[in-house]
Structure 1
């Protein structure tokens, strides 16, 4: 019942930054790589890396001395070099599934 030709990986991030790297990538339409990781104190972890993420033009918010904040509604695409949209790495005590 699933259509294998349609895949989507999207999200929203709010970032505070000291330079304009992400804003420049968004304005130029260049992709970036974003990783999200969850880790437990016992050593288990899950990491999701989106390899070709496209950022829209951000709305910049300057809120006090803590820096510039931007919100990005991002969308990942298939990376042509790697041949995939993302990589998920699970580290736990199970050797094989």
Structure 2
């Protein structure tokens, strides 16, 4: 479209985690990216996998509600990764031959 400005791509989300170590908190404090993979499966022939390749985590607010463990909420933001040179990858597996 003539005269149109390209928009900015954005990939954000929120994840609540319970963990046994401080790996995610260390990544958030250091500002190093991690890879998040979300996968759903309905058997061998039906699945969806979504991978955000370079996710930056903010410093979380940590809740200690009780004996269930430590829980943290991360409002994350993805960026374009160096390798692979993309923000995310989505893989759909089903029985449909072609779209």
TM over 0.5: yes
Question: What is the Cα-based RMSD across aligned positions, in Å?
Answer: 1.7
Aligned residue runs from structure 1 range 27-42, under 5 A: 27-41=29-43
Alignment: residue pair count? 97
Is the alpha carbon distance of 1:7 and 1:35 closer, same or farther for their aligned partners in structure 2, counting shifts above 3 Å? same
- TM-score of the aligned structures, taking structure 2 as reference length: 0.89
- TM-score of the aligned structures, taking structure 1 as reference length: 0.91
Structure 2, unaligned runs of 5 or more:
none
1:20 maps to which residue?
Answer: 22
Structure 1 outlier segments of 4+, above 3 Å = 1-5
2:64 maps to which residue?
Answer: 62
Question: Structure 1 residue 42: deviation in Å?
Answer: 6.4
Is the alpha carbon distance of 1:38 and 1:4 closer, same or farther for their aligned partners in structure 2, counting shifts above 3 Å? farther
